[in-house]
Amino acid sequence: MRVLIVEDDPLHRSYLHEAVRAALPECDMVVEAESGQSGEIEARKARVEHVVMDLQMSERNGIEAARTIWRERPDTKILFWSNYSDEAYVRGVSRIVPEGATYGYVLKSASDERLKLALRSVFVESQCVIDREVRGIQQKSLGNAHGLTDAEYEILVDVALGLTDKAIAQRKRLSLRSVQNRLQQLYEKLEVYDLPDDGMEGWYNLRMRAVAVALLRKVLNSSALERAERELHDRSGS
Amino acid sequence: MRVLIVEDDPLHRSYLHEAVRAALPECDMVVEAESGQSGEIEARKARVEHVVMDLQMSERNGIEAARTIWRERPDTKILFWSNYSDEAYVRGVSRIVPEGATYGYVLKSASDERLKLALRSVFVESQCVIDREVRGIQQKSLGNAHGLTDAEYEILVDVALGLTDKAIAQRKRLSLRSVQNRLQQLYEKLEVYDLPDDGMEGWYNLRMRAVAVALLRKVLNSSALERAERELHDRSGS
DNA sequence: GCAAAATATGCGGGTTTCCGCAGGACAAAG
DNA sequence: CTTTGTCCTGCGGAAACCCGCATATTTTGC
């Protein structure tokens, strides 16, 4: 078995190396990469089918790397190992996981034991392992108490990029009014409507406030924004 | 000499502990805290005057912790040890450092050597040590090529929180038009004006786009936003 | 297959942004 | 004292946003 570790922090990388060695005695080769970029290259070169991947690396982040790896070999087993459980990351991951692929999502705050268990489960047993806390986020984001639909999320991202209603309508092949409808749903779900106290009305620019709330609640994060920005420029050129 | 380490990642924490022991043989006591919250308490309890502080911790971030520590003992020497050199962090730090205080700013990507040198310089020699890269950000943000004035930055934050022009005017004791003036300056400095190609005009909602650009350029980040949000709620209650 | 619910579109208007133009306040330089 | 530069302010209008109301179109559930 060959395992690829993609992680930019040297400390965490060597810790992972250790953990892989300890949890997977049948593993006869461990490759390390320190960025998403080089991770993709190493994966291609060494033909690994087991990857431990950090999200949020400075160069090219884990989600993008995972997507290209999966595009080339959809049967690759990937264990995501991340600091946070931002809804933006969780959503980003589940957006790219191919049909039937096996993967895992473990937080860095988890114990050694949990990490090793996850390594064995995902790589040997081909079983999906999602950290309890991450699972919670997933549930909440789907079971729509405050959870956003995919459609709503898309609009949110476009708004956050700074596009006008008209531009969004054009990009998404919708009428202007439909876009504004979706926006209103967003405003409700994000509870953007003013402060409860006082006669503070009209204090918020709803469009901007919605994005601010999404950022504060980690529904959006800057890495998701960066991805969207790149995508926007690519598409506008094509 | 007593040293307090405030860092939420266990791996980094023990690495720091090691580095402190190695670099400062005269240090006879090392205290660890795993959040800004507990960092403040430990600092008070152990009366340390030397702190190594991580920025961006989940609970209460390093900047806030540093501020309260400095408020109680302005002669405390603090070495900030951070992953990134976002302008938002740099600005946040220089905003809170008291007159004449000694501090340092080292990136986690720096070598062992650099870290140890910084520890000795700041804690023993009482000399400020700012990482080269961070220094660069500082320069750029002050020497205003694209750098924002403090006034502009304030407006930017308020806009990013989702306040309307009117609300900002009231908060800042300015007329509506003045706020809009400052906004226009922002738009220019952030180069928000549309894509160069095509007849793409009116594609951007300037107000939103400005914030998006600021986020992408790390002039703003979510931690700065959180701080501002808390502040907003505090002030509105008083 | 049909009713109900969700989603998409058009219209119209009130409000907010965005910004050019023009004038005042105040400080620094000539 | 005048000039120049910077900052604040008011006015007015075009464009964009927010959103209630009414009408298709599609999806869903039974």
A132 and A191, same structural domain? no
Question: Tokens in use for A116?
Answer: 């090793």
Encoded amino acid at B148, one letter: L
Cβ <8 Å between B215 and A204:
no
Last residue of a domain, one of B118, B142, B166: B142
Q: Are A55 and A78 in contact (CB under 8 A)?
A: no
B200 touches strand D (CB under 7 A): no
B105 and B12, same structural domain? yes
For chain A, the domain total comes to 2
Looking at chain A, the whole-number percentage of residues with pLDDT higher than 90 is 75
Angle at A199 (CA atoms; ends A195, A205), nearest 5 degrees: 50
Q: Phi first, then psi: give them for residue B81, nearest 5 degrees.
A: -135, 105
Report helix angle A206-216 to A176-189, nearest 10: 50
Task: Judge whether residue A196 has pLDDT over 60.
Answer: no
Instruction: Please give the Cα distance from A91 to A137 (Å, whole number).
Output: 9
B95 and B173, same structural domain? no
Q: Are B41 and B35 in contact (CB under 8 A)?
A: no
Q: For chain C, which bases have at least one atom within 7 A of a protein Cβ?
A: 7-12, 15-20
Euclidean distance between the first and final Cα of chain B, in Å? 41
* Residue B175, nucleotide of least CA–C1' distance: D9
Residue A199: its pLDDT value, please? 60
Count how many Cα atoms sit within 13 Å of the Cα of residue B228 in the half-sphere of its side chain: 23
CATH of the domain at B224: 1.10.10
A45 and A26, same structural domain? yes
Q: Of chain B residues 160-179, which have a beta carbon within 7 Å of strand C? A: 164-166, 177
Distance of CA A207 to the CA centre of its chain: 23
Cβ <8 Å between B162 and A202:
no
Find chain A residues with C-beta within 8 A of B108's C-beta: 9
B135 and B23, same structural domain? yes
Task: Judge whether residue A59 has pLDDT over 90.
Answer: no
Distance, CA of A147 to C1' of D4, in Å: 57
Those residues of chain B that have pLDDT short of 50 are none
Report helix angle A150-161 to A165-172, nearest 10: 130
pLDDT, one tens digit per residue, over B81-118 is 999 999 999 989 988 999 889 999 999 999 999 999 99
Instruction: Please give the Cα distance from B196 to A158 (Å, whole number).
Output: 19
Question: Tokens in use for A131?
Answer: 């950290």
Last residue of a domain, one of A142, A160, A175: A142
Instruction: Please give the Cα distance from B195 to A163 (Å, whole number).
Output: 12
Please identify which residue in the block is written with the tokens 């749903």: A185
pLDDT, one tens digit per residue, over A141-179 is 766 657 788 899 999 999 999 999 999 999 999 999 999
Q: Phi first, then psi: give them for residue B187, nearest 5 degrees.
A: -60, -40
Residue B233: its pLDDT value, please? 86
The enclosing H or E element of A81 equals: strand A77-82
Residue A233: its pLDDT value, please? 86
Residue of chain B with shortest Cα separation from A12: B11
Residue B198: its pLDDT value, please? 60
Q: Could you tell me which residues are beta bridge partners of residue B29? A: B2
Instruction: Please give the Cα distance from B69 to B71 (Å, whole number).
Output: 5
A206 touches strand D (CB under 7 A): yes
- Which residue among A197, A198, A202 sits closest to B164, beta carbon to beta carbon? A202
Residues present in chain B in total: 238
In 3D space, the residue among B127, B86, B88, B84 whose CA is nearest the CA of residue B107 turns out to be: B84
More confident residue, A78 or B147: A78
Encoded amino acid at B131, one letter: D
Angle at A218 (CA atoms; ends A213, A220), nearest 5 degrees: 80
CATH of the domain at A83: 3.40.50.2300
Question: Tokens in use for B67?
Answer: 């501020």
B188 and B76, same structural domain? no
Interface of chain B toward chain A, CB-CB under 8 angstroms: 9, 11-12, 15, 58, 84, 108, 159-164, 166-167, 192, 195, 197-198, 200, 202-213, 215-216, 218, 221-222, 225-226, 229, 236-237
Residue A198: its pLDDT value, please? 60
Instruction: Please give the Cα distance from B195 to A64 (Å, whole number).
Output: 25
Cβ <8 Å between A206 and B12:
no
Within 8 A by CB and 6+ apart from A71, the residues are none
Scored b (16 or more CB within 10 A) or e, B126-154 reads: eeebbbeebeebbeebeeeeebbeeebbb
- Maximum distance among all Cα pairs of chain A, rounded to whole angstroms: 68
In 3D space, the residue among A27, A53, A62 whose CA is nearest the CA of residue A106 turns out to be: A53
Interface of chain A toward chain B, CB-CB under 8 angstroms: 9, 11-12, 15, 58, 83-84, 108, 159-164, 166-167, 192, 195, 197-198, 200, 202-213, 215-216, 218, 221-222, 225-226, 229, 236-237
pLDDT, one tens digit per residue, over A61-72 is 899 999 999 999
Number of H helices, E strands in chain A: 11, 6
B87 and B51, same structural domain? yes
Instruction: Please give the Cα distance from A226 to A220 (Å, whole number).
Output: 11
More confident residue, B192 or A56: A56
- Which residue among A166, A210, A222 sits closest to B215, beta carbon to beta carbon? A222
Map residue B53 onto helix, strand or coil.
strand
In 3D space, the residue among B3, B9, B5 whose CA is nearest the CA of residue B59 turns out to be: B9
Please identify which residue in the block is written with the tokens 């204090």: A203
State how far residue A100 is from chain B, nearest Cα, in angstroms: 34
Angle at A98 (CA atoms; ends A95, A99), nearest 5 degrees: 115
B134 and B160, same structural domain? no
B111 and B158, same structural domain? no
- Which residue among A203, A218, A225 sits closest to B216, beta carbon to beta carbon? A225
Residue B27: its pLDDT value, please? 93
Distance, CA of A184 to C1' of D23, in Å: 19
A156 and A90, same structural domain? no
> Within a 10 A sphere around the Cβ of B118, how many other Cβ atoms?
25
B93 and B16, same structural domain? yes
Encoded amino acid at B118, one letter: A
In 3D space, the residue among B177, B175, B173 whose CA is nearest the CA of residue B185 turns out to be: B177
Last residue of a domain, one of A93, A109, A142: A142
Instruction: Please give the Cα distance from A140 to A87 (Å, whole number).
Output: 9
Bridging pattern class, strands B2-6 and A129-130: unpaired
pLDDT, one tens digit per residue, over A197-227 is 566 677 899 999 999 999 999 999 999 999 9
Instruction: Please give the Cα distance from A106 to A82 (Å, whole number).
Output: 7
Mean per-residue pLDDT of chain A:
91
Task: Judge whether residue A50 has pLDDT over 60.
Answer: yes
B58 and B132, same structural domain? yes
Residue of A133, A222, A225, A231 best to disrupt the B interface, most CBs of B under 10 A: A222
Per the structure, the complete domain to which residue A166 belongs is given by 150-237
